[in-house]
Structure 1
Amino acid sequence: MLVISDTSPLTALLLAGRESLLRQIFDRVVVPPAVQRELLCAHDELPAWIEIVPPSAIPSSVSEAGLDPGETEAISLALDLHPDAVLMDERLGRKLAVKHGLKVTGLLGLLVMARQRNLIGAVRPLIQEMIASGNCWFDQALLDTVCKSVGEEWS
């Protein structure tokens, strides 16, 4: 299975020391050069198993959408490689990816997958840890829904 990731979900996983979840769920984890640059602003190095692949082209429907460089390149690369999922949290980027027929999941969706595969014991403590690291924020209703989907309670 192949996933193409944007910056923010990977940053949250790296800060929490949980980036291995990606490798446990997906055979290949690929990011475009713009995501690599963004990640290296906050992290000294990236895991060796993250592949850096540039998109062959950036369609105008993507370049003119007002996304940041990481999202732009991630969606463009996904249009090239047809991954099993695009890992992206930003609403505008997710909306555009879906519009282009791509399957999108976010950080919380990844945690649900990890819980369903018994890679983690519970979703809630990991979400709390990621929020405490100061790198992510989630809507209360979304947290309730995600936790409920795996038989947990947020509040």
Structure 2
Amino acid sequence: MNAPGVVVADTTPLNYLIVIDRAEILPALFGEVLIPEAVIEELRHPKAPLAVSRWLRKLPVWLRITPVQHLDETMRLGKGENEAISLALERQVKVVLMDERLGRGAAETRGLIPVGTLNLIDLADEQGLLNGIAALHDLRQTTFRADPELLRRFEARMKARQG
């Protein structure tokens, strides 16, 4: 995937990349990351992981909190997913970072390209930005949920890439 220059992120991919200390792949892969206000609110939740709370104390220059002007209320999604998709459509950004199945489906229906946490790790591994196997190992130590078979496929692809 060529870096589009700007993407919109939902909470989950950003949260888990911060937790496993790999958020720096985002500007390397995409440049600027826009997040709607609902996403920053979710990241600032009192029960958010300590790593996320610490990371939020000084937001990186590549992350921009961007208000949504026209919320698409026809989607029956969480506030973060709804605002992320609405923001991507509003700003004509094609790529939205999102893990939740319903949100990904809603994004695709609207012509967007959803990219999940596993895809991000795979892309970064492919481009030599991180060790994907190590990142997957760290991700498995968190509360991240994915189909075990899907995790195995990503891991096999990364192992094959290593030769």
TM-score by shorter chain over 0.5: yes
TM-score by length of 1: 0.88
1:89-108 paired onto structure 2 within 5 Å: 89-108=99-118
Q: Tell me which residue corresponds to 1:141.
A: 149
Say which SS state the counterpart of residue 67 (structure 2) adopts: coil
Post-superposition offset of 1:106: 0.0
Say which SS state the counterpart of residue 19 (structure 1) adopts: coil
Percentage identity across paired residues of the two chains: 32
TM-score by length of 2: 0.84
Q: Tell me which residue corresponds to 1:58.
A: 71
Post-superposition offset of 1:53: 0.5
Number of residue-to-residue matches in the alignment: 148
* Kept in 2: contact 1:4–1:87 (CA 8 A): yes
CA distance in 2, matches of 1:89, 1:53: 20
Q: Is 1:113 the equivalent of 2:126?
A: no
Runs (4 or more) in structure 1 with deviation over 6 Å come to none
Name structure 2 gaps, 5 residues minimum: none
Q: Is 1:130 the equivalent of 2:139?
A: yes
Name the Cα RMSD after superposition.
Answer: 1.7
Q: Is 1:34 the equivalent of 2:38?
A: yes
